[in-house]
Amino acid sequence: MTSLTAVPAYAAPSSKAPLERTTIERRPVGEHDVLIDIKFAGICHSDIHQAREGWGEAIFPMVPGHEIAGVVTEVGSGVTRHSVGDRVGIGCFVDSCRECEYCRQGLEQYCVRGNVPTYNGRDKNGDPTYGGYSRQIVADENYVLRIPDGLSLDVAAPLLCAGITTYSPLRHWNAGPGKKVAVIGLGGLGHMAVKLAHAMGAEVTVLSQSLRKKDDGLRLGADHYYATGDEATFTELRAGFDVILSTVSAPLPMDAYLRLLKVDGAFVNVGAPEEPNTVNMFSLIGGRKTLAGSAIGGIQETQEMLDFCAGHGLGAEIEVIRGDQINEAYERVLNSDVRYRFVIDTATI
Ligand code: NAP
Ligand code: ZN
Ligand code: ZN
């Protein structure tokens, strides 16, 4: 059992301060734990919402990061799922109650007692959890994913959140041949939604604020690309989609988007705006429409998603940055200036 101290990390000292280099302590490797040398950590918009307390009160200092890819360097005596040298990942949670009806079904993201978030949470001992913007992490083997050989660690890291958060609802709402799927927002989640929905066989339309990224969208697998800044889009696409997946981080004019659904269509929200959206109920009644949400995915489905991505040669489109570029990257994400995920090379932390 190794006692670990002084792991280099980037942390937000408070919601008002930029992230800065610091050191954190990780727990010793327990019987069912693995120690992971983190190689890459993606920057999710959720990191920014939380580091700035946009979703409410948070725990500081905060080491964000729930798109973690690395290599196992030590295992506890009872570990059976992973070995030293394995390429592995960690997503948005590192534990759950393991007993409730959802944990038993592999839907740990909906654990009734609440799962333990990878950061900005507290573990079973009440200690704060720290995320991937660091060199190492210790985690229970049951919440650690296997990264298939075909995927390199840098493009795999964003799959642990952006990939599973879009894969899970696309599967649940049956994206596939014959289905028209619209993706709102071509950012970190949105670009993975386009790749995944295309690989599943759906006809994919991107609804972006402008046509600036049209060439990219089509290259990533979209069949059509429209600007939502152009009013004509909402007339042309009326009643056109079976599923609309919103990845937008800010409130949207919901009624205008709901008019783009077919009868029985579903508007599925994965974006998590800091302010409420409002909906006129008539937008749902006329057309028997569904307004839904979806959160990340369970451990089993996350593994299925990673295997699906490896099988289809899919990774994220990334821009690799150094630790000292994190604050600048946050500003670029906030300005929708990301193509399409920033990934921190943790050797630079
Ligand atoms: P991102 O990279 O910033 O992408 C969001 C995209 O939304 C932007 O690239 C932009 O695309 C579009 N957008 C931004 N502001 C907009 C506005 N005011 N109006 C219309 N479109 C706008 O963020 P992300 O990392 O993909 O995360 C997206 C959201 O999902 C965040 O709120 C995040 O917290 C949430 N999230 C939820 C889950 C979950 O489990 N449900 C998991 C992860 C993340 P265009 O430039 O193409 O318009
Ligand atoms: Zn995320
Ligand atoms: Zn549970």
Regarding the beta carbon of 46 and ligand 1, being less than 6 Å apart is answered yes
Contact 243, 265 (CB under 8 A): yes
Whole-number Å distance, alpha carbon 115 to ligand 3 midpoint, is 7
Q: What kind and span of H or E run contains 194?
A: helix 188-200
Whole-number Å distance, alpha carbon 9 to ligand 1 midpoint, is 25
Regarding the beta carbon of 296 and ligand 1, being less than 6 Å apart is answered yes
Residue-level pLDDT at 4: 57
Contact 93, 118 (CB under 8 A): yes
Q: What CA–CA distance (Å, rounded) separates 118 from 271?
A: 19
Q: Which atom of ligand 1 is found nearest the CA of 48?
A: 34
CB atoms within 10 A of CB 45: 23
Q: What CA–CA distance (Å, rounded) separates 81 from 322?
A: 32
- 3-state secondary structure string across 12-59: ECCCCCCCEEEEECCCCCCCCEEEEEEEEEECCHHHHHHHCCCCCCCC
Q: What CA–CA distance (Å, rounded) separates 226 from 99?
A: 45
Whole-number Å distance, alpha carbon 47 to ligand 2 midpoint, is 7
Whole-number Å distance, alpha carbon 236 to ligand 2 midpoint, is 33
Whole-number Å distance, alpha carbon 11 to ligand 2 midpoint, is 17
Closest CA to 330 of 62, 82, 51: 51
Measure Cα distances from 153 to 42, 309, 318 in Å. 11, 13, 11
Q: What CA–CA distance (Å, rounded) separates 202 from 219?
A: 15
Whole-number Å distance, alpha carbon 184 to ligand 1 midpoint, is 8
Q: Which of 111, 115, 166, 249 should be mutated for ligand 1, with most atoms under 8 A from CB?
A: 249
Q: What CA–CA distance (Å, rounded) separates 119 from 143?
A: 14
Ligand 1, atom 39, residue with closest C-alpha? 295
Q: Which of 115, 186, 247 should be mutated for ligand 1, with most atoms under 8 A from CB?
A: 247
Residue-level pLDDT at 3: 59
Could you say which ligand is closest to the alpha carbon of residue 99?
3
Q: pLDDT tens track of the chain, all 349 residues?
A: 455 568 999 999 999 999 999 999 999 999 999 999 999 999 999 999 999 999 999 999 999 999 999 999 999 999 999 999 999 999 999 999 999 999 999 999 999 999 999 999 999 999 999 999 999 999 999 999 999 999 999 999 999 999 999 999 999 999 999 999 999 999 999 999 999 999 999 999 999 999 999 999 999 999 999 999 999 999 999 999 999 999 999 999 999 999 999 999 999 999 999 999 999 999 999 999 999 999 999 999 999 999 999 999 999 999 999 999 999 999 999 999 999 999 999 999 9
Q: What CA–CA distance (Å, rounded) separates 260 from 236?
A: 9
Whole-number Å distance, alpha carbon 305 to ligand 1 midpoint, is 20
Structure token pair of residue 182: 């619209």
Regarding the beta carbon of 270 and ligand 1, being less than 6 Å apart is answered yes
Q: Which atom of ligand 1 is found nearest the CA of 294?
A: 41
Regarding the beta carbon of 139 and ligand 1, being less than 6 Å apart is answered no
Half-sphere exposure of 143 (CA within 13 A, CB side): 27
Closest CA to 172 of 229, 245, 223: 245
Q: What CA–CA distance (Å, rounded) separates 35 from 159?
A: 20
Cβ-count burial 101-135 (b if 16+ within 10 Å, e if not): ebbeeebbbbbeeebbbbbbbeeeeeeebbbbbbb
Regarding the beta carbon of 136 and ligand 1, being less than 6 Å apart is answered no
